[in-house]
Amino acid sequence: MHLPEACDFVVFGGTGDLALRKLLPALYQCVVEDRLPADTRVIAVSRSELDDDAYRSQVRLALAEHVSPEHHDLGAVERLLSQLHHVAVDVEDDHDWHTLFGMLKDRPGAENTVRIFYLAVAPSLFGPICRHLGQGGLADAPARVVLEKPIGHDLASARAVNDVVGSVFDESQIFRIDHYLGKESVQNLLVTRFANTFLEPLWNSHSIDHVQITVSETLGAGARAGYYDRSGAMRDMVQNHLLQLLCLVAMEPPIEIGGGREDVRDEKLKVLQALRPMRPEDVDRDTVRGRYAAGWVAGQPVPGYVEELGEAGRDSLTETYVALRAEVQNWRWAGVPFYLRTGKRLDRRASEIVVVFKDAPYDPFRQREGATEPNRLTIQVQPEEGMRIHLNAKEPGPGGYRLKPVSLDLSYANAFDKRSPDAYERLLMDVIRGNMTLFMRRDEVEAAWAWCEPILRHWESSAMPPKTYPAGSAGPTASFTLIERDGRSWQES
Ligand code: NAP
């Protein structure tokens, strides 16, 4: 692939956790692999009074911490550091901007240079940043702006964020990141579905019984409990990551993937629009929200969420766990439930999609020993990336048929002798190249909020606390009832 043109990559919030832990290590890998032209500048912005050298020292330490030792290349570190700059700007102060603007405008060939503005700051700062960039004449194409979650905490606030950014940047310049879409296994789901023929005839309600999407974390809210309490699992995980995964499973084949067209985003939007709306009685029946109590994780006692919150915990009704049953109302998926669940402080760290096929229509092995299981396709998103097909097989041996479930494993690590890049590496290069396929469009984000909002509203109006589950467990009992009452069970790979 050809090297992109040099650009100015401005990171607002360049001293923050996201920048130091994710963005700079991703840019470092781009340097290692010669994908970042040497005359690209990475300009970090924060209020801290740091000169370039002081900022470079911070980044050197961050790379030492966040890049694994076997991928540490001192030459590449120095190359990246030489491309880094820091400019102190309080983005809420009208008078602080001239140094940054001067740097961007005085560059030779500035009028044709792509400028990327990555907003790794609180969403309340998106407005002031965009306004200043617009007033400074820096928002015209080929400028691009990258937004991180959260994009709003409900439909109205998401629209407000989109309006503020959209008043300065055109939608074709706005890259909304959902880092799940940058994961190799998630993109491989598109390849598996649309570059192979064997699945497509089965990928519908005739052959598929149901789909499960799980994002399970062992970490708790911990020191970030105060911040987390304003969102909760529904806003933090379901509205974006889980619904995006659902879209990729359920979408129709797009005309083109990876080019400059809108097909993938158009098809994902149609899925979101086809989700069965949740009425209050549906919310009561088809959703479960939970909150971890004290328990044990990896042999250590850990406090409950309410204790982590301290004083504020007394009044909190925030959920750290959600399970729900969704339906996509269209020809392909009518009658196929999509069970989604996500939570903190659970018994395992795993993100996976399990597609469970229907039982064979007839069982000729009536004299067999051993039970058969429905076929399953499991797409593992983390910690390991890969794919597994579960089949029934004959156990070797004479006399009769002993059947046993076995799995065909495609582990990325084993199949490809290559480092699996972090999601941000892929996504940052897509921003630099101007490829929007893996970024959420405004209408997608708002359609996802429109579906989630009645659930959130009904939970709020009921004023019932979430159901508790012990830290280190598999979630609240009600989440098992949710799926078991349909005669199904959660699949643990
Ligand atoms: P953080 O560690 O608190 O960093 C915030 C950054 O913003 C710092 O560099 C801070 O630097 C800068 N900043 C704050 N006020 C500023 C101002 N008035 N003018 C200029 N710079 C200012 O936060 P974070 O964890 O990196 O998260 C940043 C955003 O990304 C948040 O909206 C978060 O929700 C989102 N996000 C984060 C992650 C993650 O993994 N951390 C993941 C997804 C989304 P100074 O204080 O020196 O000004």
Answer whether residue 366 shows pLDDT above 80: no
Instruction: Give the mean pLDDT of 260-287.
Output: 96
Residue 111 confidence (pLDDT)? 87
Residue 16 C-alpha to ligand 1 middle, in angstroms? 5
What is the pLDDT confidence band of residue 414, given thresholds at 50, 70 and 90? confident
Distance 118 CA to ligand 1 centre (A): 11
For residue range 33-60, list pLDDT tens digits in order: 999 999 999 999 999 999 999 999 999 9
Nearest atom (ligand 1) to Cα of 15 = 9
β-pairing, 287-293 with 208-216?
A: unpaired
**Residue having the nearest C-alpha atom to atom 37 of ligand 1:** 18
Active site residues: 241
Q: Could you tell me the distance, in angstroms and rounded to a whole number, from the CA of residue 23 to the centre of ligand 1?
A: 12
Give the chain's mean pLDDT.
Answer: 94
- Could you tell me the distance, in angstroms and rounded to a whole number, from the CA of residue 138 to the centre of ligand 1? 22
Beta strands in 233-336 (DSSP E): 287-293, 295-297, 300-302, 321-327
pLDDT of 84 > 70? The answer is: yes
Question: Can you give the pLDDT at residue 451?
Answer: 98
* DSSP H stretches of helix in 252-348: 263-274, 280-286, 305-309
Confidence class of residue 5 from pLDDT cuts 50, 70 and 90? confident
52 token code pair: 């370039």
Residues in Cβ contact with 285 at an 8 Å cutoff, skipping those fewer than 6 apart: none
Q: Average pLDDT in the 237-246 region?
A: 97
What is the enclosing helix (H) or strand (E) of 210? strand 208-216
Q: Which atom of ligand 1 is nearest to the CA of 20?
A: 26
Residue of the nearest CA to atom 46 in ligand 1?
A: 47
pLDDT tens for each residue of 306-323: 999 998 878 899 999 999
CA-closest candidate to residue 37, choices 27, 45, 47: 27
> Is the CB of 16 inside a 6 Å radius of any atom of ligand 1?
yes
Per-residue pLDDT at 347 exceeds 70: yes
Mutation to probe ligand 1, out of 121, 132, 422 (largest number of atoms < 8 A from CB): 121
Q: Which of 87-91, 219-223, 329-333, 350-354 is the least confident region? A: 219-223
176 lines ligand 1 (CB under 6 A): no
Q: What predicted TM-score, i.e. pTM, was given to this entire model?
A: 0.95
Residue that has been written with the tokens 């509203």 in this structure = 457
What domains does the chain contain, in order, with CATH numbers?
Answer: 7-148 (3.40.50.720), 181-484 (3.30.360.10)
For ligand 1, atom 4, name the residue with the nearest CA.
16
